[in-house]
Chain A
Amino acid sequence: MEKAIRRRGTRHWGQFLLHAALILWAVTTIFPFVWVLLSSFKGTTEIMSKPFALPEVLSLFNYADALERFNIPRAYMNSLILSGSVTIVVTLLATMAAYGIARYKFRYKRGVNALLIASMMFPAFSVIIPVFRIIQKLGLIDNIFGVALPQMAGNMSFAIIIMAGYIRGMSNEVEEAAFIEGCNAFQILFRVVVPIVRPAMATVAIFTFVWSYNDLFTQLFFLRNPQSWAITRLLNEFTVSQGRPNYGLMAASVVMVVAPVLVIYILLQKNIIKGMTAGAVKG
């Protein structure tokens, strides 16, 4: 009896230590974001003199300043058009291709699978220079769609692999029934399969959106004219174009870029975590 009690006591201590260690890492994850949010309400002098204090007044002047210097609403709009179009095209085309790969038997299936895996291995660096020439010939430099096309290609194989895995796991009885009713392959895909695979499509869509929104490298290559800048590209200007460092403004710009993703993450985190790691484990 006594022994059991003592054992329970050490177990409580064990749980306490476990949580203490885990919370320590959680703090390193959250603290920088809280700190930058607080700093965004402060002026540069206040950041320097009292870096950890709560802001003296909850002032939005850094945000007002950013809005004055840059066309922030247009940058958000550009981001929405860019990532929205990439998301829609990738989700639709990847679902179609995944359906074909998962359900049909064809001769070069192994080759097609190898191509999919290979394109996940190629980093953006290895294709960007020739892609620049193609985009230039298409007249899409400084155009949002000049960024959208390479991003669509870059996300496609991941999306196909996720979707094909999901479709393979479904039984095809309903598809058979629909066929006997007289549906053709397209009707089966869009009326029978798509409603069932909607959760996987949501995962792919969220992942694609966030990846496209965050990707700076492609934007640096193709967007030179400030009119065409999406919000992530605009952020890059805050460090280089200011003569005197303005840390308050810098903090505000970080918050403006992070905020939309934070909202998406809080609402949809289960889908995001599942999707990002599923691709990794299968790939």
Chain B
Amino acid sequence: MNSMVYKRKLPLAVFLIPAFAIMALFIYYPFIVNIINSFQKVGALGTGAVPVNDSGSMFFLDNWKFVFSDPTMRSAVLNTLKMMAVTVVFQVGIALLLALLVDNVRRGAQAYRTIYFFPIVISASALGLLFNMVFLYDTGMLNNILISLGIISKDTLIDWKSFDNAFFTMTLPVIWQYVGFYFVILATGLNNISADIYEAAAIDGATGFQRIRFITLPLLRNTIITCVTLALTGALKVFDLPWQMFPKGAPAGTTYLTGTYMYQQTFNVRNVGQGSAIAVVIVALGIAAAQITSLVLRPKDM
């Protein structure tokens, strides 16, 4: 790469500046403004921030007092943490199980890959509508399946959107949609483990479960860590599905996630300053999740 071709740096500027100018204007600059906004008073969307300090203090902390004292915010953070835990365990868990199974089939692996991945390319708002119909009380697909299986009867229909079931109903489609994504990553990782190692283990008399426990999982460690990190940060970005299925945190504001609550505060309550503070909390949660993952499951160089 030390050739004469790339000695002149003027073309480099022409290559880099357009792409980075767009990102600077719509990502880096607004990201900083958003942090500043969270310490200022901002009314409706599109109005400027007012650097208030009625109390004479350097910072305007009302947005942050709100974030730390509002009970709905607390439940939104709790829901988000629950969502993170559930997505890591079930998305990555189911994906790992399916990937281990697919690794042992002789035919059809590619077909499973294609089918499992499909929900990821579908708009989450379309899926929200779809799952609204799946979970309908009197005529929904799920209740009808349970009736035909004889698990429930017409008189004991399950209200999937009730207070008690709401979180389950909100989480299930989110888990379902992204299993295929982690499945493809893990299946690719499994493909890269050489067959020689398994043969050697088989000669040594290792059973199937021993092979998974002592060969597959350790060799797959870094891939699994990637998946866990992606699932954690992905759970913070969930928006369309919950918003479509449980608008405004229904029932009674109990199903807010940090993302949907931020939208609600910004757009409907019209307190943009509080929305900005919630957005900062989302970023902080993301960084914390990534850091904790890398501390707890430290990647090993094999």
Contacts and interface: CB of A to CB of B under 8 A. Distances in A.
| Real binding pair | yes
Interface of A: 14-15, 18-19, 21-22, 25-26, 28-30, 32-33, 35-36, 39, 47-48, 51-52, 93-94, 96-97, 99-101, 103-106, 112, 115, 119, 121-134, 136, 149-150, 152-154, 156-157, 160, 172, 175-176, 179, 184-186, 188-189, 210, 213-214, 216-217, 220-221, 232, 235-236, 238-240, 247, 250-251, 253-254, 257-258, 261, 264-265, 269, 272-273, 276-277, 280-281
A261 B121 contact: yes
Interface in B189-243: 223, 226, 230, 233, 236-237, 239-240, 243
Nearest to A173: B3
A272 B131 CA distance: 24
A277 B46 contact: no
Contacts of B22: 93, 149, 152-153, 156
Given A15-B105, A28-B176, A127 B133 contact: no
A218 B104 CA distance: 42
Contact of A157 (B23, B33, B129, B259): B23
Q: Chain A: interface secondary structure?
A: helix
A190 B104 CA distance: 45
Interface stretch (B24-32, B81-89, B292-300): B24-32
B50 interface: no
5 contacts: A36-B133, A112-B16, A130-B31, A185-B11, A265-B121
A123 B108 contact: no
Contact of A257 (B15, B123, B226): B123
B105 A153 contact: no
A125 B141 contact: no
Interface string B279-302: 110110011001000000000000
Given A126-B282, A188-B5, 11 more contacts: A39-B133, A52-B144, A122-B31, A127-B279, A129-B34, A154-B27, A156-B23, A185-B8, A185-B11, A216-B125, A277-B185
Given A18-B104, A30-B115, A126-B282, A51 B15 contact: no
Interface in B35-63: 37, 42, 45-46, 48
Nearest to A96: B15
B141 to A, nearest CB: 6
B283 A126 contact: yes
Given A93-B19, A185-B11, A134 B132 contact: no
A238 B129 CA distance: 9
B106 interface: yes
Contact of A97 (B15, B42, B263): B15
A127 B30 contact: yes
Contact of A156 (B19, B31, B141): B19
Interface of B: 1-6, 8-9, 11-12, 14-16, 18-20, 22-23, 25-31, 33-34, 37, 42, 45-46, 48, 94, 98, 101-102, 104-106, 108, 112-126, 129-134, 136, 138-139, 141, 144, 148, 176, 179-181, 184-185, 188, 223, 226, 230, 233, 236-237, 239-240, 243-244, 247, 258-259, 262-263, 266-267, 272, 275-276, 278-280, 282-283, 286-287, 290
A250 B133 contact: yes
Given A185-B5, A185-B11, A130 B239 contact: no
B291 to A, nearest CB: 12
B112 to A, nearest CB: 5
A39 B139 CA distance: 12
Nearest to B230: A280
B130 A36 contact: yes
Contacts of A35: 141
Contacts of A127: 26-27, 30-31, 34, 279
Contact of A184 (B11, B267, B275): B11
Contact of A29 (B8, B118, B267): B118
Considering the complex of A and B, which 9 residue pairs feature the smallest CB-CB distances, nearest first? Answer: A100-B15, A153-B26, A130-B30, A185-B11, A214-B123, A97-B19, A130-B33, A127-B30, A48-B139
